[in-house]
Amino acid sequence: MSAHAAKITVTNNCPYTVWPATITNAQRELSLTGFKLASKASQSVDAPSPWYGRFWARTRCSTNATGKFSCETADCGSGHVACNGTGAVPPATLVEMTIAANGGQDFYDVSLVDGFNLPVSVAPQGGTGECKASTCLANINAACPARLQVKAADGSVISCNNACVAFREPKYCCTPPNDQPGTCPLTEYALVFVQKCPQAYSYPYDDSPSTLRTCSGGPDYVITFCPDGKGKPIKLIVSLTVVCFIGVLGAIVFGLCRMRAKQKGEIKVTRDTLQEYIGGKHDELLIYDFETILLATDNFSIENKLGHGGFGPVYRLGLLAYAWQLWKEGRELELVDEMLAADSYSAPEVMKCVHIGLLCVQDNPTDRPSMPDVIFMLNGSTNVIGGPQPKQPLFTIQNSVSHPQPQPSNIFHTNEATMTMINEGR
């Protein structure tokens, strides 16, 4: 065996802890076969040459009362943090590596043949030749077909099966009689993986030139879980962290409507009028007339009443319930304005903003992230999968009506805020 060793650095760029693991093919295992890795932390391990093996990350891990360690995604079944030669239970996003002897040509790729649980990239450091990174940046869980979804106890999708694992049929597994490239082509399920992560190896006969990377000269490698996506964070009102702010402004606007009506016998609110009460300039502030608010609340119907606050009854519109339902079904992108071009925003950023926004409006204050946590998640990875999962907000539970995609005729039933009627004399 050659004295040369490749240094492989594993970095966790996810906003939550992961438990990376390794397995070696027909050789002695690496010094680390499983370990805990906190967010933004790194751990290095030396791989001898030649060496062939896999890396992956487990998520949502815990130890039970008897001391048995297990994970909800990509568990290796060893019962310990170290996997000790056992591989990942699908679905799992894999990094596959073949390190050549004496500085020869290495091969490496990201594989989704065993399914997907979180994004990953592998990039050589140094070396000669092509030496390009192989990546899977997308959150495939958000686009996973219903029949392939693996869900947690709370109903959230935490991983996405490969069709072979889900159905065990030859046409998906490329087993006899479909064991040749001509009889085992790309399927509709594999296409989801190919479209989301075109650089990843997605099915057994995936021979796209972009799936297998090479590098010579004995490079080191960096494997990153939850690598950052391309582009800057988008500034869309799809981020539900603004829901509370909109609700407060809505209450102010509606209160002004009531006071103006009593003083002048009519309801007319302008930005200038609002400035008199809250100061400053608000060029982008949404202001609704009284007729619009009547329509949005169905004439302040009892069905839309949430309760009674210090300033009077509080009424519900529907954005939060609608957004939570879309998030639960993995359809967050439907919140984006249809007028926006698909290439004008980052889909992972939209899904991240929705996830974080729902966390920020959790009914129990202990379930809400702190402002530093929010900033960390917004500025960090484009994915928050595997971390804290939003619970259904209490003030959406009573709304049993399904929420269709907003149309011009019913937009005020789905784009919502919380309005408070101010009692006379207050």
What SS3 class is residue 392?
coil
Query: Cβ atoms within 10 A of the Cβ of 61, count?
Result: 19
Pairing type for strands 2-12 and 220-225 reads parallel
- pLDDT, residue 290, reads 56
Most confident range (mean pLDDT) of 65-69, 203-207, 256-260, 363-367 is: 65-69
Q: How far is CA 134 from CA 9, 218, 322, 402, in A?
A: 15, 17, 36, 41
Q: Report whether pLDDT(192) > 70.
A: yes
Contact in structure between 407 and 274 (CB atoms under 8 Å): no
Closest by CA position to 312, among listed 300, 322, 294, 329: 300
347-360 vs 371-379: helix axis angle to the nearest 10? 170
pLDDT, tens only, 308-360: 555 556 655 456 777 777 777 777 777 776 656 555 667 777 788 888 888 88
Q: How far is CA 291 from CA 285, 294, 313, 382, 385, in A?
A: 18, 5, 18, 40, 41
Q: Report whether pLDDT(116) > 50.
A: yes
| Sequence-ordered strand ranges (E) for 32-165 | 42-49, 51-63, 69-73, 94-99, 106-111, 120-125, 134-136, 149-151, 157-160
DSSP state letter for 347: H
Mean pLDDT of 282-310: 55
Give the range among 53-57, 189-193, 212-216, 397-401 with minimum mean pLDDT.
Answer: 397-401
Closest by CA position to 292, among listed 406, 179, 188, 417: 417
More confident residue, 408 or 271: 271
pLDDT, tens only, 33-43: 999 999 999 99
- pLDDT, residue 128, reads 94
The β-bridge partners of 46 are 7
- pLDDT, residue 240, reads 39
In CATH, what is the architecture of 2-225?
A: Sandwich (2.60)
Mean pLDDT of 136-158: 94
More confident residue, 77 or 407: 77
Q: Report whether pLDDT(266) > 70.
A: no
Average pLDDT over the chain reads 76
What's the first-to-final CA gap in the chain, in angstroms? Answer: 84
Would you call the peptide bond into 90 cis, given omega within 30 degrees of 0 as the criterion? no
Closest by CA position to 136, among listed 120, 124, 160: 120
Q: Which H helix or E strand runs over 139?
A: none
State the Cα–Cα distance between residues 213 and 35, nearest whole angstrom: 26
DSSP state letter for 29: P
Most confident range (mean pLDDT) of 12-16, 283-287, 308-312, 415-419 is: 12-16
Q: Report whether pLDDT(155) > 60.
A: yes
| Residue carrying the six token digits 């009284």 | 290
User: For residue 334, which amino acid is it?
Assistant: E
- Per-residue tokens: 76: 């290796």
Most confident range (mean pLDDT) of 57-61, 170-174, 315-319, 388-392 is: 57-61
Compute φ and ψ for 160, nearest 5 degrees: -130, 120
- Per-residue tokens: 244: 């509370």
Burial of residue 280 (CB within 10 Å: 0-12, 13-18, 19+) is exposed
- Of all residues in the chain, what percent carry a pLDDT higher than 70? 65
Mean pLDDT of 198-206: 90
- Annotated domain spans of the chain: 2-225, 240-420
State the Cα–Cα distance between residues 278 and 281, nearest whole angstrom: 9
Closest by CA position to 162, among listed 135, 134, 138, 192: 192
Contact in structure between 197 and 120 (CB atoms under 8 Å): no
Q: Which H helix or E strand runs over 5?
A: strand 2-12
Mean pLDDT of 136-163: 94
Query: Cβ atoms within 10 A of the Cβ of 44, count?
Result: 12
Contact in structure between 76 and 83 (CB atoms under 8 Å): yes
Mean pLDDT of 103-120: 95
pLDDT, tens only, 220-232: 999 999 997 433 3
Q: Report whether pLDDT(363) > 90.
A: no
Q: Report whether pLDDT(165) > 70.
A: yes
User: For residue 23, which amino acid is it?
Assistant: I
Mean pLDDT of 248-267: 45
- pLDDT, residue 144, reads 95
Long-range contacts, 297-300 (Cβ 8 Å, 24+):
297/419, 300/421
State the Cα–Cα distance between residues 213 and 133, nearest whole angstrom: 8
